Structure 1
Amino acid sequence: MTQSNQKYNILIVDDTPENLRLLAMSLVSEGYSVRVAPNGYMAINMAKDKTPDIIILDIDMPTMNGYEVADHLKANDSFREVPIIFLSAFQDTHAKIKAFNHGAVDYASKPFAVEELLARIATHLELYELRQTLDRNNRSLNLTLHDKEEEIFSAQISTIVALAKLAESRDDDTGLHIDRVGNFSQLLAKTLLSKQDKRFDIDEQFVDMIYHVSALHDIGKVGIADAILRKPGKLTEEEFETMKMHPMIGFKTLNTVLKSYPNNKMVRMGSDIAKSHHEKWNGSGYPEGIKGENIPLSARIVAIADVYDALRATRPYKTPFSHEQAVSMILEGSEKHFDPRLIDIFEHIHSEFDRVWVDITLKKYHDALKQPDEQGRAKGVTHHHAN
């Protein structure tokens, strides 16, 4: 039992008693406070009695299905921000997309693996709490004097980094990806600003923000199952379609905050990047297939940074490319994948990308070597006993 879980109140809605019993017992054993409802009407009344921190909601129920329950709850300001995880035997991609369109933050298929569902619930509860922290920071921003602005900005940065690390920890064992992407993105943005090209809406604040906010580009991967996210081999067509949902999951997560605070530039940039960093200049990307300057500038910049880092990185399913190979592949993507004007800049500064890659990567491993292991020895250093 985890004592910290006792503060969380979970509502389970399912018309199958065995599912209610199994999931409730599993959550109670983890220390959560749990309530169960066998139908949608009872669930709505129970939510009104006490607002849940998360709702696990079956779709296929008589009289009032899960989509209708979600729509009813989301229409009420009291429940609009409460995360909903849909639970259903429907396996097709259409059902999953429909679930997200009805306000879900995640979708789990029946029969479900209890351990995986518990991990997803814990992840979304942490995200929910972090979003509430960001909400409080934004409310404070509107009430404080100028001498408090720097303090609140730091709190926002901390929340952004926490959100990003939560997503990255499931997909990048080294923990360096978002650090490098942030540096690459700022390098491109700073060089673009120095060109004073009036076709680009960019200033010093944009350059500062993109370093931090680019960390959120893959935040939507919190909604993708580990079996897909960490699969060592090639994804099936259906698995890839599921993976392609992560930009919209990230966008919905951040857009929840943006709706309440439409003037927050950091959240707006993060929302743009999360949704559009897989779009392509020629319109062949996803999730919306937009093209050219319809893709936000921040997302166009992060797309180059993200692809460069992915090409250089070692993954279970691929060997790393050299800097020269990565540069060649990115240049070939000009006017197809990438904004050709940004590629012109990349072509002139790509050696700086290599320097950043080497500096950050080597520093991580040098720091790791200095850390003592559980026996007090430096990692990688062997001590021999004297004869």
Structure 2
Amino acid sequence: MSQIIDPSQTLARGTPQTLLIIDDVEMNRAILAEFFKDRYHIVEAGNGLEGLQLLDGHEDEVCAILLDVLMPVMDGMQFLKAVHQRNLQKQIPIFLITAENSSTVLEDAYAMGVMDVITKPVIPFVVQRRVDSVVELFQARKRLGAKVNLQQAELLLQARKIMDLNAGMIEALSTAIEFRSCESGEHVRRIHDFTAYLLGKTPLGEGLDQEQVDLIALASIMHDIGKIAVPDAILNKPGRLTPDEFEVMKQHTVNGALLLERIPQMRQHEAFVYAYDIARHHHERWDGRGYPDGLKGDDISIWAQVVSLADVYDALISKRVYKEAYSCSQALDLIANGACGTFNPRLLSIFLAHEESIRMFYMR
């Protein structure tokens, strides 16, 4: 008579120790059960369908299946096909115990993942040894796999902590530079959010996956890192810069890229390629009249273009040492009319269509 698999009867540490015997002849099942009763919890099924029903939901508790071929309702080969479709043969070793010696049957059985074929009549110590050896192999492999998975999880957690630490250090450095220029650290957060929004929620980010968008947004907060080399007298001058002073200020783009390049840990960071490009090129302009390299049009990366626009918009609607804050509508007019330089028309169009959503970053 078939038994319902009882999870409480498995051995310690969650090791599966249930042996499923599928054979339509009760005497055959009884003989096999006698062989293994001291080693495993035994469960019996009279045909393949009944075996599948017993197996369903208890796959992790079954350590091996002993399977006959010729049975009513669902024979052994049909059972194998069903198990193969579920890919369970990689998890549970299956032994074909049969008097059937057709080469076609054996070939098909092995093709569907049968571990071994044991011919009837069986010899007790032979079948015991063959089954035990394979079960031990599968369980050792599972234990190793679990250990590897645990180690991988620990490594991923450590990597995540390192990434968070790196991001925190990047944010702290970028914010410190903003404080030095008498601006709040909110500037870099808004540049981050502006960049993430336009590249993550509009057609501007086509071709970029979420991981790339996140890296670019992180890189965007380092756009002005080169200002660390600008003298305070120029950085915080309340009036208009002289031509010579402006030339010094313009060097923050080149100096920022060089600074990032000289930090070994930064060069190894996935955001480096974006950070370097943004730091150097966020003052380039669509018409080629920007600096430091005079790039024009699509020679400027889309992320550098987005940060450029974000920087201009944020500067306009924020109070700075050299000016009062403009209203959002005034800022939009200045940007749209070209008073702040020429921008990619597509970028400008998408920005204007989404400006109300971006404006919410200033309501927090």
Which interval holds the TM-score relative to the shorter structure?
0.5 to 0.7
Deviation readout 1:49-87 (Å, 9 max, x if unpaired)? xxxxxxxxxxxxxxxxxxxxxxxxxxxxxxxxxxxxxxx
Alignment CA distance shift 1:166-1:335 (3 Å): closer
Aligned to 1:339: 344
User: What amino acid sits opposite 1:189 in the alignment?
Assistant: L
Aligned match for 1:233, one of 239, 245, 260: 239
User: What amino acid sits opposite 1:217 in the alignment?
Assistant: H
TM-score normalised to structure 1 length: 0.51
Aligned to 2:14: none
**RMSD of the TM alignment (CA)?**
2.3
Aligned match for 2:258, one of 252, 270, 276: 252
Q: State the alpha-carbon separation in 2 of the partners of residues 206 and 353 from structure 1.
A: 20
Gaps of 5+ in 1: 1-143, 360-387
Aligned match for 1:314, one of 316, 319, 325: 319
Alignment CA distance shift 1:221-1:171 (3 Å): same
Aligned to 1:283: 288
Q: State the alpha-carbon separation in 1 of the partners of residues 316 and 306 from structure 2.
A: 16
Counting only pairs closer than 5 Å after superposition, residues 151-300 of structure 1 correspond to structure 2 as: 151-192=161-202, 195=203, 200-257=206-263, 264-300=269-305
User: What amino acid sits opposite 2:357 in the alignment?
Assistant: E
Q: State the alpha-carbon separation in 2 of the partners of residues 321 and 334 from structure 1.
A: 14
Q: Contact 1:334–1:343 (CA<8 Å) still a contact in 2? A: no
Alignment CA distance shift 1:294-1:334 (3 Å): farther
Q: Contact 2:182–2:236 (CA<8 Å) still a contact in 1? A: no
Gaps of 5+ in 2: 1-153
Aligned to 1:61: none
User: What amino acid sits opposite 2:218 in the alignment?
Assistant: H
Alignment CA distance shift 1:263-1:333 (3 Å): farther
Aligned to 1:133: none
Counting only pairs closer than 5 Å after superposition, residues 116-135 of structure 1 correspond to structure 2 as: none
Q: Contact 1:283–1:291 (CA<8 Å) still a contact in 2? A: yes
User: What amino acid sits opposite 1:170 in the alignment?
Assistant: R
Q: State the alpha-carbon separation in 2 of the partners of residues 177 and 308 from structure 1.
A: 11
Q: State the alpha-carbon separation in 1 of the partners of residues 211 and 275 from structure 2.
A: 14
Percent identity between matched residues is 36
Alignment CA distance shift 1:209-1:173 (3 Å): same
SS in 1 for 2:287: coil
Number of residue pairs the alignment of both structures matches: 211
Aligned to 1:357: 362
Structure 1 residue 261 displacement after superposition = 7.1
Q: State the alpha-carbon separation in 2 of the partners of residues 233 and 202 from structure 1.
A: 41
Instruction: Tell me which moved more, 268-277 or 311-320.
Output: 311-320
Structure 1 residue 240 displacement after superposition = 0.5
Q: Contact 2:317–2:331 (CA<8 Å) still a contact in 1? A: yes
Structure 1 residue 235 displacement after superposition = 0.7
Q: State the alpha-carbon separation in 2 of the partners of residues 332 and 288 from structure 1.
A: 24
Alignment CA distance shift 1:316-1:348 (3 Å): same
Aligned to 2:353: 348
Structure 1 runs (4+) deviating above 4 angstroms are 260-263
Q: State the alpha-carbon separation in 1 of the partners of residues 190 and 247 from structure 2.
A: 27
Q: State the alpha-carbon separation in 1 of the partners of residues 183 and 292 from structure 2.
A: 26
SS in 1 for 2:263: helix
TM-score normalised to structure 2 length: 0.54
Q: State the alpha-carbon separation in 2 of the partners of residues 164 and 335 from structure 1.
A: 24
Q: Contact 1:334–1:340 (CA<8 Å) still a contact in 2? A: no
Alignment CA distance shift 1:334-1:345 (3 Å): farther
Structure 1 residue 336 displacement after superposition = 5.7
Q: State the alpha-carbon separation in 2 of the partners of residues 173 and 261 from structure 1.
A: 25
Structure 1 residue 262 displacement after superposition = 5.6
Alignment CA distance shift 1:190-1:334 (3 Å): farther
Aligned to 1:6: none
